[in-house]
Each structure stands twice: as C-alpha cells, then as structure tokens.
C-alpha cells in the first residue's frame, strides 16, 4: 500500500536509471562475445537482475563493483562458450518477457537443453510469437503445458536462416530471431509492420555482427530506416563465427522511466524539471512526439550520440489538449501508453489511442487496467479492442488503485495521484522494482513540501 496526494510544485533535476531494454541486451551480448565488457549505468532492477542470474547459471562470470552495483563486468566466453552445470538447465526469468523471449533465440542453437520459466504473470504471456519463427529456423522449442506460454523447453539444435514476416511490431520477437540468426546457416530476415526498437541491431553491430534495419522496399543504407515515418521495415543478420566485446557500454537513462517525470512535470501546476541523460533513440521517442502533439513543453539539451542518442529533457507545466495516437508510432511508445492515458484524462478534449492491442498482453491487460483505474479516479474513458477513448478535461480525484502487480500501472497512477484532488492509494507499489526500484524516492524528491 502506498499513499500519495496532490503536488503543488515540482522542481529540480533527476537522473533516471539505465534503460531496461539496453541493459538486458548488454548482458546477453557481452556473455556470448569474446572478452571482457564493462557496462556502466546498468539497470539493477528485478527484470535485468533476472537476465544477469540466468547468464551466471549458464557459466558466465559477472562482477558488480562493490561501490556501484550499476557498474558491472561481464567476462564473455564467446558464441559457443555457455556452459551450464546441468542439461537441462532451469532458468528463472522472473517477470521479464524480454529475458524469456530474447534468450530463447540465444538458447535455441546451443548444445544443451534449457527450461525457461517465470512468475505467474510471465507464464501467462504469449510465447507462440517466438516459438513459431524459431521452429521455422529448426529450433526444438515446446511450451511444457501446451498452452503457448512458458515454461518453455528448448533442446539445442542446428538452425537455418528464414525470411519471416512478423504480424506484430515486437522488438522481443525480432531480437529472438536475430540472435538465433547469428548462429544459423544463411541470412535471416525479419519484416515488421513498423520498425520496433532497434537496440539489438545497434548493439550487435557494435559487437561486430553484420546486421542492419531498413525501411521496406528502399535501398537506404544501414541504419537508414526512418522510424518516425512508422512504415514497414525489415532487419537482417548474417551468421557470425564470433562476436567481440567493444570493451565498454554506457547505458543511457530509460525514456520509459523518464516518461513518468515528463507527465508529472506537464501536469503539476508549478513545475520545471530537468531529466538528465535520457535515451532518445528514434525508435523509442514516441513519448516525446505524442506529448508534444498534446502541447507538452519539452526542450532537449546537451544532446550526444554514441551507439544510442541521448539528451537532457527540460519539461515544464503545460496546457495539454487531446490527440490521436495510433499507427506506426505505437511501437515507439507502447510502454508509455498508460501514462499518456493519464495525461489525456487531464487534457482538454478527446484523445484516441488505437492500433495498440499489444497492450492486452503486457505485464497486465493494460487497456482494461488503465480504464478501470482512470474510471475510479473520475475520468471519462472507454476501452476499445485496440486502445482507449478518453474524453479529457474533468478533474481527477483520489481513489484506490489496483496495480495488478504491473510496474507501469503503479508508476502511471502515482503521477495521476500528484495531479488529483485528495488521497490516492496504490494497492501495491513494490512492483516498481521490476524496472525502477528508486522510483518513489526520485519522484517525491522533486515534490516541494512533500
């Protein structure tokens, strides 16, 4: 249980912890590369710690700096160096879909058998989306209960490349296939209805893999896809003999975590907040585009571009209006839709969120759960098959919020609480540890007079 009430002023600077998607990949790819990789600003949240524990169980030495747990060293053993103590090896993937799905692509071509299983929420999420393409590549992967969900049993086998058309724009699906493609015979291609986050392509390229993503039907050079265009795209990878550590990876701040601070700064009356060093990869920056379309005042400062582009975001109280969020932008803000719905409830006019049926298969059914909780706070919202219609402008009042153990619901409604009248109670705030263990400390650190 966690109690929150309205904030009158929000001021100061916040440094957001490392990006969850990039932290997972940094551990995964460092583990199967030759050499030592130093990872800075690694996200020490429950999900990323699940990935770390799985690779330790697969025989990889990973050391945390005693003075700073976000500074880790991974001693990679090469593409064929994973060496579990037993086969099958049982891997606990906790609440993490990213761990389960991407690791399946890495484990499918190994010489041992793995069983991947997580908590009740994870074990009810759809896995057919990776089982199907991996099986087409020659993988031996079964759902132990026959329900298309984890536990997954993967018996290592030889793989061959495929040319796969994914129905959903999912970076987890794409990444599982690309990772398997590293080990497969021939070229592997994945087509997506619109480009999902490209962290795998960027990072595998930094490890020496021959990989790229491009808009469908164009002859654009590697990295030339226009994610802001939102059109169909494909990613391709060639098999590799070995990956080589780039030495160091610095993980940018997570824009999905920054989203709560962007929303809070827009909604709280007297707010000006600097959110430092946030990743603004164009396949992830849909929050910035959608919030600006709603009238959010966001200024980018100190931009820098290494493997991943980053900037400070300076956000202040904004007068928001409704908008339409749908089409190709959805994969670039899929995790931010719950907090965008909160912003929409307090914006003038109607907001339509569409083409976002994927929300139903996240850590909770986020269409149902956002609708239930915003209604409890007095919002005028209707759930649809692929999103929500929110008629904004009515004040929100405090309520009891059911998070269903979903971190993004807890954090979105913590923001709603700051902009609502009266007291809001989250039934469970501990789920924030999945992606942002210090969330409440960081948020309340900005609330003046809290």
Residues in the chain: 450
Q: State whether the Cα torsion 164-165-168-174 is positive or negative.
A: positive
Q: How many CB atoms lie within 10 A of CB 270?
A: 12
CB of 348 to ligand S3P, least distance (A): 29
- Rounded CA-CA distance 384/337 in Å is 14
Place of tokens 């799985």: 54
Whole-angstrom CA distances from 288 to 103, 157, 310 are 30, 43, 13
Q: Write down the catalytic residue from 335, 355, 380, 442.
A: 335
CB of 218 to ligand S3P, least distance (A): 23
Query: For residue 309, with 0-12 CB atoms within 10 Å meaning exposed, 13-18 middle and 19 or more buried, which class applies?
Result: middle
Torsion of CA 336, 341, 346, 347, to 10 degrees: 80
Place of tokens 């379309």: 293
- Residues 6+ away with beta carbon under 8 Å from 177: 105, 130, 133, 134, 137, 162, 164, 166, 188, 190
Q: Catalytic residue at 335? A: yes
Footprint of ligand S3P (CB under 6 A): 21, 98, 170-172, 175, 196-197, 334-335, 358
CB–CB of 27/63 below 8 Å?
Answer: no
Q: In this structure, which long-range contacts are made by residues 119-123, counting pairs with CB atoms below 8 Å and at least 24 apart in sequence?
A: 119/94, 119/95, 121/95, 121/363, 121/364, 121/405, 121/406, 122/93, 122/94, 122/95, 122/96, 122/97, 122/150, 123/149, 123/150, 123/151
Which of 339-366 are b and which e, b meaning 16 or more Cβ less than 10 Å from the residue's Cβ? Answer: bbbbbbbbbeebbebbbbebbbbbbbbb
CB–CB of 178/237 below 8 Å?
Answer: yes
Query: For residue 294, with 0-12 CB atoms within 10 Å meaning exposed, 13-18 middle and 19 or more buried, which class applies?
Result: buried
- DSSP result, 131-194: HHHHHHTT-EEEETTSSSSSSEEEE----B--EEE-SS--HHHHHHHHHHHHHSBS-EEEEESS
Torsion of CA 415, 420, 423, 428, to 10 degrees: -30
- Rounded CA-CA distance 399/277 in Å is 34
Residues belonging to the active site: 335
């Amino acid at each position: 249980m966690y109690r929150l009430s309205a904030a009158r002023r929000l001021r100061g600077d916040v440094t957001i912890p490392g990006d969850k998607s990039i932290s997972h990949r940094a551990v995964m790819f460092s583990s199967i590369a030759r050499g030592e990789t130093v990872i800075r600003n690694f996200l020490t949240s429950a999900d990323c710690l699940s990935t770390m524990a799985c690779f330790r169980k697969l025989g990889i030495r990973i050391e945390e700096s005693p003075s700073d747990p976000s500074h880790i060293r991974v001693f990679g053993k090469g593409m064929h160096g994973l060496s579990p103590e037993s086969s099958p090896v049982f891997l606990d993937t906790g609440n993490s879909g990213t761990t389960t799905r991407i690791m399946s692509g890495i484990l499918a071509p190994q010489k041992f058998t793995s069983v991947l299983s997580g908590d009740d929420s994870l074990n009810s999420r759809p896995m057919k989306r990776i089982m199907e393409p991996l099986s087409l590549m020659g993988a031996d992967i079964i759902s132990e209960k026959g329900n298309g969900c984890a536990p997954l049993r993967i018996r290592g086998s030889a793989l061959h490349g495929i040319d796969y058309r994914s129905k959903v724009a999912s970076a987890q699906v794409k990444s599982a296939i690309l990772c398997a493609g590293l080990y497969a015979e021939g070229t592997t291609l994945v087509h997506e209805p619109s480009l999902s986050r490209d962290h795998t392509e960027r990072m595998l390229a930094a490890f020496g893999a021959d990989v790229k993503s491009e808009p469908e039907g164009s002859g654009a050079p590697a990295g030339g896809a226009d994610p802001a265009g939102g059109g169909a795209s494909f990613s391709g990878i060639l098999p590799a003999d070995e990956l080589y550590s780039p030495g160091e990876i610095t993980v940018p701040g997570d824009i999905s975590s920054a989203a709560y601070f962007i929303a809070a700064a827009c909604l709280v009356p007297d707010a000006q907040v600097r959110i430092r060093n946030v990743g603004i990869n164009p396949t992830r920056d849909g929050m910035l585009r959608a919030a600006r379309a709603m009238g959010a005042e966001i200024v980018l400062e100190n931009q820098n571009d290494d493997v991943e582009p980053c900037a400070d975001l300076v956000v202040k109280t904004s007068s928001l209006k409704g908008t339409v969020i749908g089409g190709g932008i959805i994969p670039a803000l899929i995790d931010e839709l719950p907090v965008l719905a909160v912003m929409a409830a307090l914006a003038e006019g109607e907001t339509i969120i569409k083409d976002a049926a994927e929300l139903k298969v996240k850590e909770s059914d986020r269409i149902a759960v956002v609708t239930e909780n915003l209604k409890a706070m007095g919002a005028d919202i209707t759930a649809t098959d692929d999103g929500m219609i929110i008629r904004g402008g009515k004040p929100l009042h405090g309520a009891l919020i059911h998070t269903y153990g979903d971190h993004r619901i807890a954090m979105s409604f913590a923001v709603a609480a700051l902009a609502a009248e009266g007291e809001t109670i989250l039934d469970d705030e501990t789920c924030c540890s999945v992606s942002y263990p210090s969330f409440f400390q960081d948020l309340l650190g900005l609330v003046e007079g809290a």
